[in-house]
Chains A and B, each alone.
Chain A
Amino acid sequence: MTKEKSATKRRVKFTFQPQLIKEPVIWQLGHQFKLVTNIRRAEVRENVGWVILELEGQEDEIDRGIEWVLSKGVRVDPVSGDVLEG
């Protein structure tokens, strides 16, 4: 459970606002960070788009990659939706 060296996979859902739909965010994520991106499901409409994918890499690299995606204005969620419940 140490974060430093372990290679791992994380399943995430990216939701894109309209202005970001045309940007190659996932391509950039795979090039700027040592991460393998593996898309499993996606849907893009005129006003919103989402992608469900798996990220594979070092735990801390995944964290950095997700921070970068968030900084682009993309929403990042667990694939199963919110786990916090009322």
Chain B
Amino acid sequence: MAYVKALRCKQCGREYPAEPINVCEFCFGPLEVAYDYDGIARAISRAKIARGPLSMWRYAALLPVDADNAVDLNAGFTPLLKAKNLGRLLGLSELYVKNDAVNPSYSFKDRVVTVAMTKALEFGFDTVACASTGNLAGSVAAHAARAGLKAFIFIPADLEHGKQVGAAVYGPTLVAVKGSYDEVNRLCSELSDNYPWAFVNINMRPYYAEGSKTLGYEVAEQLGWRAPQHCVVPVASGSLLTKIWKGLNEFAALGLIGSVDTKMYVTQAAGCAPIVDGWNSGKMLIRPVKPNTIAKSLAIGNPADGYYALTTLRDSGGSAVAVPEEEVVDGIRLLAETEGIFTESAGGVVISGLKRLVQSGLIKSDEVTVAYITGNGLKTQETVEDLVRPLIIEPTLTSFQEALKGR
């Protein structure tokens, strides 16, 4: 059963019944799920979690849906790998990589979508929708297929063909919108006012966003029931960062781990870094930007949770770093060549951002550090295409030997 008390406005604190709404009627602030933590405390323990399924649903008591009817592709419980080679290179002896690129649709979005889709079914919707440039589109389409729900996926008309395939294969109605990034945004917001659908990141957003907390829970459990000292996170809307922080703090409040002394770090690509800019300005204010980055999955110019990402940095004592565009691919290569993990451009931002954080002295060599890798490199192969430089030989031993000499 779900331990949901209400939806609560993050701005003014007004409470609403748990319905498919995401904005406070009074101040238009965002709504967040409020829980009955006393009830959760009675229902949860390390032992019970450990006996649960090897997926994010082992933390069902802390999710705002009835897990018995989950729309489940087995998202979560992804590997937390000790990154000895990358750590040695960066001078970190306790570096871990949370590889969320191996989720069912190859990104962390499966964690949020499985919750949103389950909630959509609970509310009785027969159609789900989203607006996406890639990972979310694929995840919504896949989970909708699993749930037997109709799906409308809105994409910018110039989206790379490979990403369109990654959603189209599951059989949704794919709608390609001609227009600028801002125009697509405004249209989709209007659509959500006009169609009685579950928009996973609009009217389902309070529930949807909660799925990201499991990236905090899992890392704590996999580290032996303790919070790391540093979390380095790729940031688009800001939601993931705030929910990892929330997840760690919920675990501590429930007595599942000790106190949380974790510093949270925002990493963004320089071509779209409104949260880093807001942090560096020292004013706790987000100025929207026009995205111009190869890290497409982080290209959110007006981040919904930008302000809350800034408060998370402030509360945790963390920081923010923008990675020059040319270092995004360097980060992808570095992780692949040292740890055998092929990440998409967002992961490149994290690894290059981590490098900069270490160089600036914010992360020390023996401190437990987790780098979050949230998407799979097979989705953005075009970013590293020029790495393909094979030795081309004739089918003879001599030709091979000649080619080797030339290296």
Contact = CB atoms under 8 A, between A and B. Distances in A.
The answer to whether A and B belong to the same complex is: yes
A81 B303 contact: yes
A78 B189 contact: yes
Interface string A30-42: 0000000000110
Given A1-B194, A41-B11, A45-B283, A84 B188 contact: yes
Given A41-B28, A85-B236, A80 B189 contact: yes
Contact of B302 (A40, A48, A81): A81
Interface centre among B26, B136, B186, B285 (most CB of A within 10 A): B186
Nearest to A81: B304
- Is chain B's binding surface mostly helix, strand, loop or mixed? mixed
Contacts of A79: 23, 28
A83 B199 CA distance: 9
- Is chain A's binding surface mostly helix, strand, loop or mixed? strand
Contact of B303 (A1, A13, A45, A82): A82
B22 interface: yes
Nearest to B189: A78
Q: Which size class do A's interface residues fall under?
A: 20 to 34
Interface string B274-309: 000000000101011000000011111111111000
Interface string A1-45: 100000010110101000000000000000000000000110101
A59 B27 CA distance: 22
B117 interface: no
Contacts of A10: 190, 193
Nearest to B130: A85
A72 to B, nearest CB: 15
Nearest to B374: A86
B170 interface: no
B285 A48 contact: yes
13 contacts: A10-B190, A45-B285, A75-B288, A75-B302, A77-B182, A79-B23, A80-B23, A83-B202, A84-B133, A85-B136, A85-B236, A86-B134, A86-B375
